[in-house]
Amino acid sequence: MSEQIPILLYTPHPLVRLKYIASTILGEAINFTNSIETFFSFDGFKINYSTNCFGNEQLHIVPHGLLEQTGVKPQLIDCFEWEGLTTFFKTNGSIPFDFFAASFYLLTRYEEYLPHEKDELRRFSHNNSLAFKKNFLHQPLIQLWMEQIALLPTNASWSFVPTYDIDIAYSYNNQSIGRNVFGFFRDLIKGNRSEVEERLAVLGGTIKDPYDIYGWLDLLHNSLQLKPIYFFLLAENKKGLDKNIDPNSAVIKNLVVSHSKKYEVGIHPSIQSTTNNKILSNEIHQLKSLISKEIDTSRNHYIKIEFPSTYQELILANIKHDYSMGYPTINGFRASYAKPHHWFNLQKNKVTELVVHSFCYMDATAIFQERIAVDKASVDLQYYLDIVKKVGGEFITIFHNNFLTDQAAFKEWKDLYADFLLKNGTR
């Protein structure tokens, strides 16, 4: 469908959820009416969302009932295949399912509000998701439905947004004496000769710190005209999985400031901050004071998000854009959608100002969770780019400076990333 064709959606009753999902996926082209006369006289693409068939609509969708509800209630999900795609919420309109209700269920992460078993970090496991169980996690399914229904705009626009999580800015430099002494003897005892030699060479100033790949990334970004986003972990106290260098150190200040002058930077809220809004506020203030700019972009460390509490806290902290929508344990489309969208708070049945950006590929996930070979990872990465180009939206990747090194364990991954960027040109 051309983006210029106006769309009129008829519904006999004003439904907050219907208006949200239709406006989100169909954009400015959509208008709503509860007048049958207006609907009949409209000269454009007409969608009838009701139990009655008028006969002059291009698309008739019989409501399932979810969009008429408020709150969160268990839903009966009975999946079936339609035109080669998994679907659910079966009804008997001109297509055999309630496309709007099914899209709403996936996009709002409805299932994550329902009772479920959490992992050790209190995260929703991808194993619990409908997309994983029914094997469509690798698909931006909502947009593939739109394509099949002829609602996907022709030549849908897309963009590539490379993002980086800077959890540990440097491996040896600017680390505490205790950490370096402990690491030295640990490697010595284990017989890790190369690590021992590397540490001594870096601390002696004869070679660069292996995690210092920032100049290399600059060359790639500049030559390919890329506009990345860097997320900095600035936990005040090292604790558990929060292992960043002291955010008050001069080296971190210089690193953050230099990047803020060239690129967009965001906060990478620590694990500690996800259960303490004061810590979250302090970390955001720390970044703001470093770069003298308002901070409105975030991605949670280890993708630790819970609904609705995480997003509610981000809104209170004046975050406008969050990039945490994806799984840390498997690559794919957590919300089955590749475009940014406003978060809908199911508990309050209300659209919010927070814009959700979905990532579909993370290096740490491929390396440590999926445990796939570099060749397979390269194929996957290209697939995700190609499918987003096909349906439109943001192709968002996450890479880490400490996995883009020339160290033996990660050299192939660094080469994979460089080859991917060079192959796919500027965007």
Secondary structure (DSSP) of 163-192: EEEES-S-SSTT--HHHHHHHHHHHHHHT-
Q: Does the residue 78 lie in any domain?
A: yes
- Which of 93-102, 193-202, 365-374, 395-404 bottoms out in mean pLDDT, i.e. has the lowest? 193-202
**H-run or E-run covering 47:** strand 45-49
Residue 363: per-residue pLDDT: 98
Separation of CA 162 from chain center: 12
Strands (E), 194-287: 229-232, 264-267
The C-alpha atoms of residue 101 and residue 135 are separated, in whole angstroms, by 20
Of 174-188, 223-237, 364-378, give the lowest mean pLDDT range: 174-188
Q: What is the mean pLDDT of residues 130-152?
A: 97
Residues 287 and 386 reside in one and the same domain: yes
| 8 A C-beta contact, residue 29 and residue 7 | yes
Average pLDDT (375-388) is: 98
Position 184 scores a pLDDT of 39
Judged against a pLDDT cut of 50, whether residue 185 lies above it is answered with no
Q: How confident is the model at residue 193 (pLDDT cuts 50, 70, 90)?
A: low
Identify which has the larger pLDDT, 183 or 230.
230
CATH code: domain of residue 383 = 3.20.20.370
Q: What is the pLDDT of residues 25-34, one digit of tens each?
A: 999 889 999 9
pLDDT top residue among 256 and 192: 256
Helices (H) and strands (E) in the chain — how many of each?
14, 15
Task: Indicate if 185 and 282 belong to the same structural domain.
Answer: no
Is residue 49 located within the same domain as residue 118?
yes
Is residue 349 one of the residues assigned to a domain? yes
Q: Which of the four pLDDT bands, split at 50, 70 and 90, describes residue 134? A: very high
Q: Which has the closest alpha carbon to 34: 63, 60, 14?
A: 14
The closest of 262, 261, 268, 275 to 295, measured between CA atoms, is: 268
68 with 200, same domain?
A: no
pLDDT at 3 over 50: yes
Q: Do residues 191 and 127 share a domain? A: no
Query: In what helix (H) or strand (E) does residue 290 lie, and over which residues does it extend?
Result: helix 277-291
pLDDT on residue 155: 84
End-to-end CA distance of the chain: 24
**Dihedral sign of CA atoms 377, 382, 384, 387 in order:** negative
In a domain, 390, yes or no: yes
| H-run or E-run covering 325 | strand 321-325
Is residue 2 a part of any domain in this protein?
Answer: no
Does 138 share its domain with 167?
no
pLDDT at residue 189, as a whole number: 58
Specify the higher pLDDT residue, 247 or 172: 247
Q: How far apart are CA 29 and CA 36, in angstroms?
A: 19
Q: Check pLDDT > 50 for residue 190.
A: yes
Residue 1 lies in a domain: no
Q: How many domains does the chain have?
A: 3
Looking only at the bridges linking them, the beta strands covering 7-10 and 341-345 are unpaired
- pTM recorded for the entire structure: 0.93
Residues 244 and 349 in one domain: yes
- DSSP letter (8 states) at residue 125: P
In a domain, 67, yes or no: yes
- pLDDT tens, position by position, 106-129: 999 999 999 999 999 999 999 999
- ω before 96 within 30° of 0 (cis)? no
- The pLDDT score that the predictor gives to residue 206 is 72
Looking at the structure, do residues 23 and 142 belong to the same domain, yes or no? yes
pLDDT tens profile 289-323: 999 999 999 999 999 999 999 999 999 999 999 99
pLDDT at position 171: 86
Residue 382 lies in a domain: yes
Confidence label for 374 from pLDDT (cuts 50, 70 and 90): very high
Query: Bridge partners of 187?
Result: none
227: confidence class by pLDDT, cuts 50, 70, 90: very high
Same domain, residue pair 185 and 167: no
Report whether pLDDT(201) > 60.
no
Give pLDDT, residue 178: 47
pLDDT interval class at 255 (50, 70, 90): very high
CA angle 364, 203, 398 (to 5 degrees): 15
Mean per-residue pLDDT, 47-58? 95
Task: Of 2-16, 80-94, 134-148, 327-341, give the lowest mean pLDDT range.
Answer: 2-16
Pair 165, 256 in one domain: yes
In a domain, 61, yes or no: yes
- Residue 336: name the closest of 144, 140, 151, 152 by CA: 140
Would you say residue 163 has pLDDT above 50?
A: yes
Same domain, 89 and 114: yes
Mean pLDDT, all residues of the chain: 92
Q: Are residues 118 and 192 both part of a single domain?
A: no
Which residues form the domain of 294?
A: 158-171+210-423
- Cα–Cα dist 51/53, whole Å: 7
Percent pLDDT > 70 in the chain is 90
CB proximity list for 422: less than 8 A, separation 6 or greater: 220, 224
Contact status, residue 380 vs residue 372, Cβ threshold 8 Å: yes
pLDDT at residue 417 in the model: 98
